[in-house]
Amino acid sequence: MFFNNRKTIGIFISNINNEYQEFLCEGISRRAQELGYNAIFFTSFGGYAQDEYEGGENHITEIPNYEDLDGIIIATDTLIIEGLEQRIRDNIKERSNCPVVSIREKVDDYYNVLIDNNKVLEEVIRHFIEVHGFTKLNFLAGPEDHFDSQIRLESYKRVLTEYGIPIEEDRIYYGDFWKRMGVDAVEYWLSNSHTKPQAIICANDYMAITVVEELGRRGIAVPDEIAVSGCDDAIDSSEYVLGITTVNTPIDKMGIEAVDKIDRINKGHMEEQNSYIETKTIYRKSCGCNKDYSKEINVRKEYYYKVINELTREVTRNAYMSADFAGITKRSELHSKLRYYVYENRGFTDFYMCMYRDWQTINEDEAFNRDNIEEMVMEVGIKNRQDYSKIRFSKKYLIPPQFSDDKPMIYYVALLHHQFLNFGYVAIAYDRIQTYMKTFQAWLINVSNVLENIRIHNELNRLVYKLEDMYIRDELTGLYNRRGLGSLGENYLNQAMEKQVNLMILSADLDELKKINDNYGHAGGDIALKVLAEALTFVADDDEICARFGGDEFLVIGLEYDEAKANRFVKRFIDKVNAFNQSVKEEFNVYVSYGWILCAPNEETTLEECLAKADFKMYQQKKQKRSLRLRANLLQ
């Protein structure tokens, strides 16, 4: 895919600005580089229940060329946008022929890298029972229908049963794996004296932190009155003042194992469908154990300090970026300012903004047809601090092939879109996974919003031009009307004077239009008028101005004409009209009278004067035709 003769692993992952995703990406990237694989992270952002925005994010599934991938990793439990995982799985089934690994959630059709949720909380629960002697253990689960939550709950029930502790459903509360439900759970349990716990075991750290905070707000000391534990060892759990007892999952090792699994399969080795990563229980103050973990705290604090500093810097920069982008209506303005904000991110090595060819003219009706377009345009490109732009390439290569490296390439790909409107994507390579990702979504939204501003500005200009064009166009024939002829004709007159060349003025008149209208209705008359208009348009291949001047009157103005060129124009015009008559498409024939002049204008020449002379010539021919018809009738 990257045109460097290396195998490529595609990774589907959402919300890469979160802690879990950061460690996972780091493990995958590091191992892919060690084994010589390219890695492409197809990223998306969601979880805010905004249908228009998340509907646009869904189109990340159509960016990869699945046929060219040598391995696929899915961070399944991060794909929270409705329909996203299914779209990925459908594409994999239809288009890929490589090993696929799901991380942290078991998928029967794929290989899996998992933690054993049957065991992950066992040690914590046993610790509360054996070390602290607790028998009133409450459990704050995740969502009732969530697979991990179900297994962790079953583990809780199994261990309690093993120790002869009865399962009381009132001691179980279903949360959401986030910080909102901890308050409700505490309220529920403390309002019922029967279920007041000695310890609250939470299915993850975020809920555990909220439980500790709510207990403190109610004046209940942790762990002296109620002990609390979490799971997954989020950074917040160690940085929290109390320190949350939890279970650590080496997330980076899950990423490493996923890459190793793909590599072993590609090398022809037999491979177990499921791999399990061992977890480690970490005891902190929230369970009543005062074990020394100062070294861990110092490491975490150093990391957190860097995160806060970088995040503060990036949030400020994104605010400046948003203000700086306000009012941009031209693509060229965006290019220069975008390059500045890309360069401001010190960790990047390569940046490519790859757009659909027609992104500036796309409308909502066409928004769902972007996925089938194969040719892209790299609008802005930066590699090794060199700027590039306007390079066309096939989407199957993801970036222009000339920018491929011999070494393993690690790229993050994210969509540029405004709600459902898809503009293209960015492909970015970094020295490392970094805090820049914390504000990456806001950065992308800033860019996407200015792209939408440019698109709207272009659309408004297009509509203005269309309205202006309608003002100077004849509705029936599409030729210029009297207003258009006057404006453009004066321009041609001035050009002829400046260049000292001839103008050709042709006046044409449809013969016997009233007779056609009387016999075939106004629809027939409209057809006859369109025949003349189409004939003029057909022969006007040198920027001649063609106009319908009145009901059945037509005028043509041509620049840089001589007599021979004028005669050729007239002959082709009459031949085109005669071709209609010979086609027998209608029951009537179309005939035209015409006259033309050549004019070498000077400063005293007026357009009206030239048109009048051509008109006089046309009426001379029309008069001759009438005389001939009268003479023919007398002879009969």
Residue 299 inside a domain? The answer is no
Residues 437 and 535 in one domain: no
With residue 128 as reference, give the H or E element that holds it: helix 122-130
Domain count for the chain, please give it: 2
pLDDT at 341: 81
Instruction: Report which of 102, 84, 106, 98 is spatially closest to residue 9, judged by C-alpha positions.
Output: 98
Residues 64 and 15 in one domain: yes
Residue 583 inside a domain? The answer is yes
Question: What digits encode the pLDDT tens for the residues 524-583?
Answer: 999 999 999 999 999 998 889 999 988 899 999 999 999 999 999 999 999 999 999 998
Residues 411 and 536 in one domain: no
Residue 519 inside a domain? The answer is yes
Residues 402 and 340 in one domain: yes
Residue 342 inside a domain? The answer is yes
pLDDT at 232: 83
Which phi and psi (to 5°) does residue 490 adopt?
A: -60, -40
Residue 171 inside a domain? The answer is no
Residues 380 and 488 in one domain: no
Tokens 């950061």 belong to 22
Residue 18 inside a domain? The answer is yes
Amino acid at 96: S
Tokens 């037999």 belong to 270
Domain boundary among 391, 424, 458: 458
Residues 425 and 500 in one domain: no
Q: What's the rounded Cα separation, in Å, for the pair 22 and 18? A: 6
Residues 502 and 630 in one domain: yes
Residues 492 and 451 in one domain: no
Residue 23 inside a domain? The answer is yes
Residues 450 and 477 in one domain: no
Residues 611 and 520 in one domain: yes
Domain boundary among 406, 424, 458: 458
Domain that holds residue 422: 8-115+327-458
Residues in the chain, pLDDT under 50: 238-239, 368
- b/e code 112-132 from CB counts within 10 Å (16+ = b): bbbbebeebbbebbebbbeeb
Question: What digits encode the pLDDT tens for the residues 85-137?
Answer: 999 999 999 999 999 999 988 999 999 999 888 889 999 999 999 999 999 99
Domain boundary among 418, 435, 458: 458
Residues 499 and 363 in one domain: no
| Peptide linkage before 408 cis (omega within 30 of 0) | no
Residues 443 and 486 in one domain: no
What CATH number does residue 563 fall under?
3.30.70.270
Instruction: Report which of 632, 478, 437 is spatially closest to residue 22, judged by C-alpha positions.
Output: 437
pLDDT at 368: 47
Residue 336 inside a domain? The answer is yes
Note if the pTM is more than 0.75: no
